[in-house]
Structure 1
Amino acid sequence: MRIQVPFLRVGPIEVPPPAYQSEGAVGLDLCAAIEAPVTLAPGERRLVPTGYAVALPDGHEGQVRPRSGLALHHGVTVLNSPGTIDPDYRGEIKVVLINLGAAPFTVHRGDRIAQLVICPVALADVVVVSALAPTARGAGGYGSTGVRREEP
């Protein structure tokens, strides 16, 4: 399924528009719209503009996700992953990058820094009840359905 999604170039820095990098890709790569290179020290985070705003259709969200190559090779990821872009937001898309690697990492103008996945979403009507239907798992939390190992 394909939908038309309008993107508007904003700001003074020209970079390529969001784009799929292969025929089967589901994430649109987002580029850094920065005038001068920005170096992230290990542990440092920075809000990086992309130079584009988007008008997502009602019933859809934009998920800003890390690029796997940056994460694997440099330890650079999107801090609030996935970051959500609501359909009523019209400001510039910006990406919170963090360097979890051991070495400084420099972002240059036009570098592909994240990807945007556009997804349909369901909106919920919240109904407060006095009890929930039971399940086999119940209130079991983190790790409650995983493999249990005997402690030595």
Structure 2
Amino acid sequence: MKEDAKEWDTALSPIQPTSIDVRVKNIFIPGKKKKSRGGSEEPLDQSSIATGGTVIVETMETLSLPSNISAIVFPPNSVSSKGILVTNPGHIDPGYEGNIKFTLLNMSKEPFALKRGDVIGTILFFLLDSDVRSDYKSRVKQTDSNKGIQDLNETLAHDFVNINERIKEKLNKELTRYSLITTVIVGLLGVLATTASTYLNNSSNAKFSERLRTCLKMERWG
């Protein structure tokens, strides 16, 4: 216990005087079915978030707030400075029990690697003067965590900016464009080839006719 207490006093401790750092436990991929990898019943322990991609993260830490403590959650600089937008941090009401869920969106140009144990949020606590009259537990029915994750999975898009579909659409347009250009070029080459052949044939015929007339003249006046 003494060793643990010493570690809590260091700069790297997840427990600070008025806040705690929370870490990644489970990673879920929007759009995945319940029992597939990344679904609500088969979470990942690591993932690489592509540009425009989204994931849902569940924390290792579980809160059990009394009726006189509230909290605010925000992403740490180590996450936000990498272009990662945490879309649903906010306040936590007194009386809340359970872990925290975040939705992460990668807005950077590079993929973002995420794994179990990474710090994903900081919770800042506030002590109220007295207990609230009606806390979270008395207002909100506690729901199954997996059901909440599955609801998010079905609501969110894995590709937030639809970048993959946009790339496919762009490629299809470009391929169609180049296909039309190629068809036109081949057609023009065919026309040019036919014209050139006709010209050459006509030119050869004209020369042959000229030689024939010359021969006839020579025969007549010879």
After TM superposition, is the score higher than 0.5? Answer: yes
- Unpaired runs of 5+ residues, structure 1, are 1-18, 124-152
Task: Tell me which residue corresponds to 2:109.
Answer: 102
Structure 1 segment 1-152 matched on structure 2, within 5 A:
21=12, 26-34=18-26, 35-72=44-81, 74-81=82-89, 83-120=90-127
Structure 1 moving runs of 4+ over 3 Å: 19-27, 120-123
One-letter amino acid of the counterpart of residue 124, structure 2:
V
CA contact (8 A) 2:20 2:122 kept: yes
What SS class does the counterpart of residue 98 from structure 1 fall into? strand
Distance in structure 2 (CA, Å) of the matches to 1:84 and 1:66: 13
One-letter amino acid of the counterpart of residue 99, structure 1:
N
What SS class does the counterpart of residue 25 from structure 2 fall into? coil
Distance in structure 1 (CA, Å) of the matches to 2:103 and 2:128: 23
User: What TM-score results when the alignment is normalised by the length of structure 2?
Assistant: 0.40
How many residue pairs align between the two structures? Answer: 104
One-letter amino acid of the counterpart of residue 32, structure 1:
V
Provide Cα deviations, 1:50-82, integer angstroms capped at 9, x if missing partner. 12221112232221101112212x11132124x
One-letter amino acid of the counterpart of residue 33, structure 1:
K
Distance in structure 2 (CA, Å) of the matches to 1:24 and 1:50: 18
Aligned CA distance change for structure 1 residues 33 and 24 (closer, same or farther; 3 Å): closer
Aligned CA distance change for structure 1 residues 86 and 45 (closer, same or farther; 3 Å): farther
> Shift in Å at residue 26 of structure 1?
4.0
> Shift in Å at residue 25 of structure 1?
6.1
Higher RCO (Cα < 8 Å, 6 or more apart): 1
Q: Which structure has the larger Rg?
A: 2
Kindly, what percent of the aligned residue pairs are identical? Answer: 28
- Unpaired runs of 5+ residues, structure 2, are 1-9, 27-43, 133-222
One-letter amino acid of the counterpart of residue 42, structure 1:
T
Aligned CA distance change for structure 1 residues 84 and 44 (closer, same or farther; 3 Å): farther
Distance in structure 2 (CA, Å) of the matches to 1:20 and 1:79: 27
Aligned CA distance change for structure 1 residues 97 and 27 (closer, same or farther; 3 Å): farther
User: What TM-score results when the alignment is normalised by the length of structure 1?
Assistant: 0.56
